Every structure is written in structure tokens, then in C-alpha cells.
A and B are shown apart, each in its own frame.
Chain A
Amino acid sequence: MITTRKPKMKLSDYFQRGKNRTETAMGLLFVLPAAFFCILFDWYPTFDGVLMAFYDWNGYDTPIFVGIQNFIDLFAHDELFLKSMKNMTIFVIGGLVLMFPTIIASVVLFRVRNSKAKYVYRVLFCIPMVIPFIVGLLMWQYIYNPQFGFLNQFLKLIGLESLRGVWLGDADLAIWSLLFMGFPWVTTGAVLIYIGGLQAVDSSIWEVSELDGVGPVKKFFALEFPLILGQFKLNLIGAITAGVTGYTLQMIMTNGGPAFSTLVPGLYMYQLAFKSQRYGDAAAISIVLFAVSLLLSWVSIKFIKSKED
């Protein structure tokens, strides 16, 4: 994996006086700071998190070892946790379905003939990425505002007053309102990544398909989608991980309410840890989520692989 200039050096050779020793010293000096940060602020919390899941800890007393009791409690007695897992399933499935508008937009953009127009669209698509995501969320919070929010005012304007709702305040609607929020569900960063994938392909392939007179829909399934499968897999894993472990959206928009209808396990974990000081139970949820996202990613990649053959 690593190329060295000279084959096989003995350990003592590195410390010989002169050039070797300076190079050893500089090499270690260059690498160790990065290693230190990675170990202390990334590896250590990862290991500590696994350990914490087997302890009860309230933030100041000595942690008490409880074995797998935290996990048993979650799955056997904790109705809120089970409810949050159900909600999470909806968010994950929603997230996967809503990946497709992005793919369609990417292919449409790629097929535009005029290269100048193409560039303009790409620049425009970059702009949502540099707007702080919190601004988008807070604007949607206003759009859903039941009293004078945009949505209800708009429904009144077009004479559909009967459809006005309290959206995020309605236990039956809140989860769907949250899923609707990304409308039109085009993740612009992903568009650029897909476009990159399509551009990296040898251009003769498009000329051949042109000559064969392949229709636009068939061209998508036979050519374009298979070509961006690598990018799709990466985004798929991103979407799964975000769906399983993410909770910023729910935290800001509804804080899990009303009546826990938008509570997701990640948010429940946050509340257990930082509101109820039940750090052990919270760490156990983290481990469960970690395992679920890893498993789902692995299964979906396997599934795509088997389809490829």
C-alpha cells in the first residue's frame, strides 16, 4: 500500500546518524500532530461511546456498569424509543424516494445542448449550497406558520381556505410537512456530483446512442443511470446515514412534537443525554443507530451489486 524509495529498512537504520535520522525526525514531526488530533478527538470518543453504552452515568457521579441493561430497556420497555424508530423508518424511506428528483434534474441538466446555459444553471445550483441551511429551515418554519404563514395565506388567496392547516402543529400532518420541506427535493450539491460522473464518461458513447435513436426514457435507464451508479451509491449511503442518525431538522422545526409524532431516535438520544442526564441510555441509542445505518448501507450496496451482474 505504501511506496518506499528503498526496499526494506531495518528499524535501527531509521535512527542512523545523518540523513536518515533527520528524515525520521521530520517525518514523525509532520505526522504525529495529525495523529494526536485524530486519536484524541475522533478515536477516543468512538471507543468511549461504546463503553458508555454499558454504563449508567448522570454527568457527574461515577458511572455504574450495567451490562446490556440499557439496550434491553430500550427495546423491551421504552415505548418512545420504539415510536421514534417507526418515525425514523418513514424519514429514511422518504429520503430514499426523494433522491430521484435530484437524479432526474441532473440528467436533464446534462442533456441541455447549449454549454453556456449549462454553466449558468450549474452556478445557480451552487447558490443554495452556500446559503446557511438554518435560513432555509427558518423560512419553512414561517411558511408553515398557522396564523400568517405563507402557505395558509396562499391557500386563502387562491380560494382554497378549507385546506388551511396548522401543519407542524398537527400530529397527523407534521411528519409529512417535514418531508415536503425540501420541495422540489433537488439537492444541488448532489446534482453537481452526478453531472461530474456523466461528464467523466467518454463522449463517443453519447454519439452512438444518438445514432441508434434511443428514446429519452430508455436512454436514462440503459445509459445514464448505470453510468452514475458510483455517485448514486455514495449519495445513497449519505441519505441512509442522514435518515437514520440525523435530527437537526426535527429538533429545530418541531422538537419531536406534536405528541411525539416527529420524534426520531437521534433527537430522543439528544434529549435523554442533555435534558434528562441519562447518558448511558443515550449512548446505547447511538450504538443502535450506528449499527442500523451500517447494516442498511451494507445491504443496499450488496443489493445494487447483485443487480449489476
Chain B
Amino acid sequence: MEHATTKPFLRRLGWAELLKHATLIITCILLFFPFLLMLQMSLKTQKQIIFELFKIKSPFHYDNYAKAFREIWPLVGNSFMMAIISVVLSVFLASLAGYAFARLRFPFKNLLFAIFFLKMLIPGVANLIPSYKLALHLGILDTYLPVILFCAGTTMPFWVFVMRTFIEQQPKELFESMRIDGAKEWKIFSELAFPLMRAMVVLMSINVFTFIWNDYIWPLVTIPTNTALYPITLGLARLATLYKGQLGVLTAGYTLACIPLLILFIFTMRHFIDGLTSGSVKM
């Protein structure tokens, strides 16, 4: 059966196609290699890792996961709290402002818009130390707040711009007719503008979420002593030194730390791919 289908299939495919697939498959294997290694190590004891790294055989040590779970769970919780609050706050602020800039009349509009537009041109690569100083003076070190507040501040320029452009592209009449019906501005925003912006909101949420999920240096600086608040990034780096002699438990921990975002990805896959492949990300 298999033989009968492969031959014409190969001929139809041709050498050029075969070469392309081979390149991509090898690339994928190499890309996933560290993570495949991680998976198979996570079921081994330290002895098995040192002496039988290349053998995939039982006994599998699922208890690595039980041990790692206790350590990873609070980290995942911390990262989730910081990421979700950051997403909600910054998406709310950016979509409100973007809508107002696109559809409302108010004084100093150009001046206010320049606050966001100009900041896009001057990136904040030198912000770390002065931001730390500000957080120190505000007395918010060793809390979630620096991560959340500074994230909301620094995501504004780009995303207010994106949201405004998006709303401007929508037909004006939609908003006018609702206004004529006597709807309040808040209602127009919450029932018309925000749902219209859904695609952008999803894109921004994914963007902000993964940014916080992967941020290392800013939480390291602003959570100097309270390890109970460590996000995944800092926590895993800390565990890597604490569990140096228990690679099985450690890699089980790494695996567990990957799961939440993978689940999120499964649900948002379409938006994720569509957003990046829309062809609009360029200069």
C-alpha cells in the first residue's frame, strides 16, 4: 500500500520540492532539538543523564515533574499576574486614546498626539537606569507594579498610533449614526469602536503578554530581594543554580514552564500567524 502511493507521489513532487522539504524538516529538527533534549532529560535521574544521555529507555522518572511542579507553580502565577494586568491596562489605555484621536474633537489634539508619535522615533534604549531611579523614588520596588506601570507607559507610543490608524480606516458613518441616535461617547467606544478593533486588540495582547513573559532584566532590577515575586525568567535562572546537580528535575521544570504559553498559543494560533504574515510589518 505504502509502496504504491510513494512512487507516483515522489515523481509528482520532483527533486526541487524534495530538497525544499528536506531543508525545512532539518531546520525544524535542529530548531526543536534543545527542547526535545529537554523532554527526554526530564524523565531521567542525574545518573541516567550522565551515563545514558542518548538512551531513551525506562524507568521513566515522572516524579521529576512532581518535584519541579512545587517550584514552578508560583513562578507561573507571578508571570501570569504581571502579564495579564499589564495587558488589560495597556490595551485599555491604548484603545481609548486611539479611538479618541481618530474620531473625537478636542483641543490640543495635535500636541497630545505628538507625545506618542515623537516617542516612537526616540526609542527608550537608555531608559533602564533612570526608570529604576523613578521606581525607587516611587517606593514600588519589590512589587509587581514597576513591571506593570512601565510596560503600560512604554507600549503606548506604538500602539496608540496603531489603534488610531485602524479606527480611521473604518467608515465614519458607523460612528455618526450611533451619535445621531443619541448614544453616549462611552457607549460608542465600548459597543462599536472596541469590538471593531478586536484584531488589533488581540495582536497587542499577544505582543504585550509575550514581552512580559520573556522580560528578564527589568524584573531583576525592580524585584531585588523578594524572590517570592519572581517571574518565570528570574525563577528558572535561579533554580538552574540551586538544582545544578538534579538536571532531571530542572528540565522537568523547564518543560512545565513552557506549557501555559503553548496552551495560549493553541487558542490564538490563527491571530498569531495572521498578524505576523499580513505583510504590513515592514519599513
- A residues lining the B interface (CB < 8 Å): 1-6, 9, 11, 14, 20, 22-24, 26-28, 30-35, 37-46, 48-50, 52, 59, 105, 108-109, 111-114, 117, 121-136, 138-143, 148, 150, 153, 157, 183-184, 186, 188-189, 192-193, 195-197, 199-200, 216, 230-231, 233-234, 237, 241, 245, 247-248, 251-252, 269-270, 273-274, 279, 282-283, 286-287, 289-290, 293, 301
Contacts and interface: CB of A to CB of B under 8 A. Distances in A.
B38 A4 contact: no
B35 interface: yes
Interface stretch (B63-71, B195-203, B270-278): B270-278
Given A49-B127, A290-B126, A121 B24 contact: yes
A290 B125 CA distance: 6
Given A231-B282, A270-B217, A132 B232 contact: yes
Chain B CB count within 10 A is highest, among A37, A141, A252, for: A37
Contact of B232 (A134, A143, A148): A134
Contacts of A269: 128-129
Contact of B157 (A40, A42, A153): A42
Contacts of A59: 136
B246 interface: no
A37 B156 contact: yes
Contact of A286 (B96, B129, B247, B261): B129
25 contacts: A1-B113, A2-B113, A4-B105, A26-B185, A27-B109, A30-B96, A33-B96, A34-B116, A35-B97, A35-B115, A37-B93, A41-B134, A45-B133, A48-B134, A49-B127, A49-B129, A108-B23, A123-B273, A131-B35, A184-B27, A193-B277, A199-B277, A199-B279, A241-B123, A286-B129
A128 B261 CA distance: 11
A45 B281 CA distance: 28
Interface in B93-147: 93-94, 96-97, 99-101, 104-107, 109-110, 112-113, 115-116, 119, 122-134, 136
A290 B101 CA distance: 30
A27 B104 contact: yes
Contacts of B269: 123, 126
A106 to B, nearest CB: 11
A11 B110 contact: no
Interface in B255-280: 257-258, 261-262, 264-265, 269, 272-273, 276-280
Given A28-B107, A52-B133, A131-B35, 9 more contacts: A31-B112, A42-B154, A42-B157, A46-B126, A130-B264, A134-B214, A153-B54, A193-B281, A252-B216
B112 to A, nearest CB: 6
Interface of B: 16-17, 20-21, 23-24, 27-28, 30-32, 34-35, 37-38, 41, 49-50, 53-54, 93-94, 96-97, 99-101, 104-107, 109-110, 112-113, 115-116, 119, 122-134, 136, 149-150, 152-154, 156-157, 160, 168, 172, 185-186, 189, 210, 213-214, 216-217, 221, 232-233, 236-237, 240, 247, 250-251, 254, 257-258, 261-262, 264-265, 269, 272-273, 276-283
A245 B125 contact: yes
A177 B240 CA distance: 19
A132 B282 contact: no
A127 B265 contact: yes
Contacts of B110: 1-2
B249 to A, nearest CB: 13
B106 A139 contact: no
A28 to B, nearest CB: 5
Contacts of A32: 112
B124 A42 contact: yes
B153 A37 contact: yes
A23 B106 contact: yes
B24 to A, nearest CB: 5
A233 B236 contact: no
- What are the nearest 8 A-B pairs in CB distance? A41-B153, A27-B106, A200-B279, A230-B282, A286-B126, A30-B100, A34-B97, A196-B277
B283 A2 contact: no
Contacts of B172: 5
B128 to A, nearest CB: 7
Contacts of A124: 28
B233 A132 contact: yes
B78 to A, nearest CB: 13
B107 A11 contact: yes
Contacts of A234: 281-283
Nearest to A192: B276
Contacts of B258: 130-132, 135
A134 B282 contact: no
Given A1-B110, A38-B115, A233-B282, A45 B273 contact: no
B17 A112 contact: yes
Contacts of A122: 273, 277
B17 A113 contact: yes
Nearest to B185: A26
A35 B93 CA distance: 9
A5 B105 contact: yes
Contacts of A38: 115-116, 119, 153, 156-157, 160
